[in-house]
Amino acid sequence: MVLNIVMLGSGNVATHLSAALINSGHKIIQVYSRKFKNAKELAEKCNAIPINKVSKLDNDSDLYIIAISDKAIGELVSTIDFTNKNVVHTAGSVSLNIFPKSIVQYGVFYPFQTFSKKRDVQFSDIPICIEANTAKFEEFLISIASQLSGNVQKINSTQRKHIHLTGVFACNFVNHLYYIACNILSKNNIDEKILNPLIRETSAKINELSPFEAQTGPAVRNDKESIKKHLDLLSSSPEYQQIYSLLSDGIYKTH
């Protein structure tokens, strides 16, 4: 069944999710964004109509997907009458209960991945976390998600909040550590690419070893001399020193 879908949002998630839905044969008929320019940019990729007023929303679409920043969801939901529409949001940290109970069918469709507009991503193995207010709508969402990914899971709002939180640790914070490492290298005129095999292997290890088993380096060995040398090397960056100390302590206490 081909669905006519309205995408509310034009950011990273909206962009990649639209592409994946179109890939699965569905149609994005409208893209809504408060900024018309943003709506237009994504709508052009989707062969959809860009709108920047909720009054122009199509009333007969099969699914309305709210893929906007977490903090804006509540307001948007309160300004649109979704009573007899199928509506989902895509946010990890926002409860299902942000939707008023007067809506007949509402849910959450949360792809647990990091999306950047500049990089393509394969949806096929992305965990898609589904929650809905009725069993019937849950089934509907699972069937759509299963067209996009082989990894669809029923996840309630409390679990989803924790999953979102762990994404911050395993992705955003990890990426910031990559940033710091690259920064130290470039300051010392060393090609940042020297890190790539290490970064690749560190992430690949988790397929075979638990992070506990996989740990190596000065902190797990309690090698105080190396730690001291590293803190000295960071003497001009008190913030990096603080991160170094805190994470080294964490590793040492864990092992």
Within 146-165, the residues that bind a copy of itself by CB under 8 A are 151, 153, 155, 158-159, 161-165
Question: Binding to a copy of itself (CB under 8 A): which residues in 125-144?
Answer: 125-127
By CB under 8 A, tell whether 168 contacts a copy of itself. Answer: yes
Backbone angles phi, psi at 60, to 5 degrees: -115, 20
Of residues 18-57, which lie at the interface with a copy of itself (CB under 8 A)? none
| Interactions with a copy of itself, residue window 61-120 (CB under 8 A) | 69-71, 93, 112-116, 118-119
In the complex, what is the shortest distance from the CB of residue 59 to a copy of itself, in angstroms, rounded to a whole number? 31
In whole angstroms, give the CA distance from residue 133 to residue 108: 9
Count how many residues are written for the chain. Answer: 255
Q: Smallest gap, in angstroms, from Cβ of residue 159 to a copy of itself?
A: 6
The count of other CB atoms within 10 Å of the CB of residue 204 is: 11
For residues 57 and 214, which CB has a smaller minimum distance to a copy of itself in the complex?
Answer: 214
DSSP annotation string for 128-168:
EEEEESSHHHHHHHHHHHHHH-S-EEE--HHHHHHHHHHHI
- Site residues for a copy of itself, 214-243, by CB under 8 A, read 214-221, 223, 225-226, 229-230, 233-234, 239, 242-243
Residue 233 host element (H or E): helix 224-233
